[in-house]
Amino acid sequence: MKIMVTGGAGFVGSHLVRRLLERGEEVMNLDALKYSGNLENLQDVANHPRYTFVHGDICDAKLVAALLRERRIDGVINCAAETHVDRSILDPGAFAQTDVIGTGVLLEAARRAGVGRFLQVSTDEVYGSVETGSSTEDDPLSPRSPYSASKAGGDLLVLSYWTTYHFPVVLTRGSNTYGPNQYPEKFIPLFVTNAIDDQPLPLYGDGRNCRDWLSVYDHCAGIEHVFRHGAPGRLYNVGGGNERENIDVARLILQHLGKSNSLIRYVQDRPGHDRRYSVDCSRVRALGWEPTVPFEEGIRSTVEWYRTHESWWRTIKSGEFKAYYEQAYGHRLREGGGEVKGVAG
Ligand code: DAU
């Protein structure tokens, strides 16, 4: 198959490109190389005979239409997205642009080109905060951040193409993903890399928000599985089954690095911070997928990856990231006045 993976230079996208190549597929990676897109993530496959890279944006209707038609693409997997909640609070427009408009442009071009399969990579955040129980695919959407609202908008557009045109779409809603090559604005790589440098770990609110952690390898396996076997017009939750409170994840990271819990700094909470996410994955399990990486082992090897790939993240942290970190964390860390609450033990 000839598969177009959009956002293939990003975190999930790059792991997915590698996985599809390993399975014998031909892969075209379309990536706009915005701040978190990094071709270094795919250095090992850059010269692979079944891999091509095109620098471009999913919002560019002419370009995507030409690529899909001329290169005779069989299937599209849309990983291109603005994904960071904190950035969506600082700059919501970019999220509506890529996650809604961009998805719409790509979808329409794929329909017109007669592409046989379109998978939208989405998120469990569209269900909103889940106080008890777990979200099923039939639950109502209740997104609460500009990021999750934009993803929900994209999901609805994609679903409408099945209802309206019988265009064979499938969607995955993944839970919090972690692993190598994740841009260090996200919780796990930020905390690991800050801890390596003995910098404070800025824990939002009371640190008891809960996320369901999914290894990037399991996430990509889930995406591939749904791409191949999912029923058209259907949504599939893909969760790791590892619900942990943030404080416990922070302590685990510090333990692996042999660092003190006193690095944890409680800071001003994220506005509208969702308390908990939890997804019911019976539907994708019935299709034959299940997660395989135990969380403790996944965290251990992820910490090890950042420890042994310092040049990868130091290059990022000394670039654009610096200004972002000051904007997002400067006041929080200064306001905290160095106070560290309840981290003993
Ligand atoms: O649930 C899937 C989603 O998971 C994906 O769709 C998003 O793209 C991805 O960013 C992630 O969203 P979160 O907002 O849950 O992930 P993040 O890594 O930003 O934060 C995880 C938790 O850690 C959350 O409760 C906020 C907290 N946190 C995060 C950061 C960056 C902190 O306490 N301090 C921090 O500095």
DSSP code string of 46-58: TT-TTEEEEE--T
Report whether residue 247 contacts ligand 1, using a CB cutoff of 6 Å.
no
Locate the domains of the chain by residue range: 2-178+213-238
φ/ψ of residue 234, rounded to 5? -105, 150
Each residue's pLDDT tens digit, 9-44: 999 999 999 999 999 999 999 999 999 999 999 999
343 pLDDT more than 80: no
Q: Is 296 a catalytic residue?
A: no
Residues 6+ positions from 338 with CB-CB distance below 8 Å: 265
- CA contacts within 13 A on the Cβ side of 69: 11
How far is the centre of ligand 1, averaged over its atoms, from the C-alpha of 270 (Å)? 10
Q: Is 40 a catalytic residue?
A: no
- Ligand 1 pocket: which of 155, 211, 324, 329 to mutate (most atoms <8 Å of CB)? 211
φ/ψ of residue 327, rounded to 5? -65, -45
What is the average per-residue pLDDT within 173-183?
Answer: 98
What is the average per-residue pLDDT within 173-196?
Answer: 98
93 pLDDT more than 60: yes
What is the average per-residue pLDDT within 303-327?
Answer: 97
Q: Return the beta strands (E) in the chain as ranges.
A: 2-6, 26-31, 51-55, 75-78, 117-123, 169-174, 176-178, 201-204, 210-215, 234-238, 243-245, 264-267
C-alpha–C-alpha distance, residues 309 and 158, integer Å: 37
What is the average per-residue pLDDT within 89-109?
Answer: 98
Of the pLDDT bands very low, low, confident and very high (cuts 50, 70, 90), residue 336 is low
72 pLDDT more than 90: yes
Tell me the three state secondary structure of residue 182.
coil
Q: Which of 125, 185, 212, 274 is catalytic?
A: 125
Give the residue whose CA is nearest to atom 35 of ligand 1: 187
Report whether residue 88 contacts ligand 1, using a CB cutoff of 6 Å.
no
Each residue's pLDDT tens digit, 211-270: 999 999 999 999 999 999 999 999 999 999 999 999 999 999 999 999 999 999 999 999
- Ligand 1 pocket: which of 12, 85, 123, 129 to mutate (most atoms <8 Å of CB)? 85
Each residue's pLDDT tens digit, 120-140: 999 999 999 999 999 999 999
Q: What is the pTM of this model?
A: 0.97
Tell which residue, 146, 174, 150, 11, has the closest CA to residue 86: 146
Residue at token pair 């800050």: 194
150 pLDDT more than 70: yes
pLDDT, residue 344, reads 35
Percent of the residues in the chain that have a pLDDT greater than 90, as a whole number: 96
pLDDT, residue 335, reads 84
Q: Is 44 a catalytic residue?
A: no
Is it true that domain 2-178+213-238 has CATH number 1.10.10.10? no
C-alpha–C-alpha distance, residues 335 and 175, integer Å: 31
337 pLDDT more than 60: no
Report whether residue 218 contacts ligand 1, using a CB cutoff of 6 Å.
no
Chain-wide mean pLDDT for the chain? 96
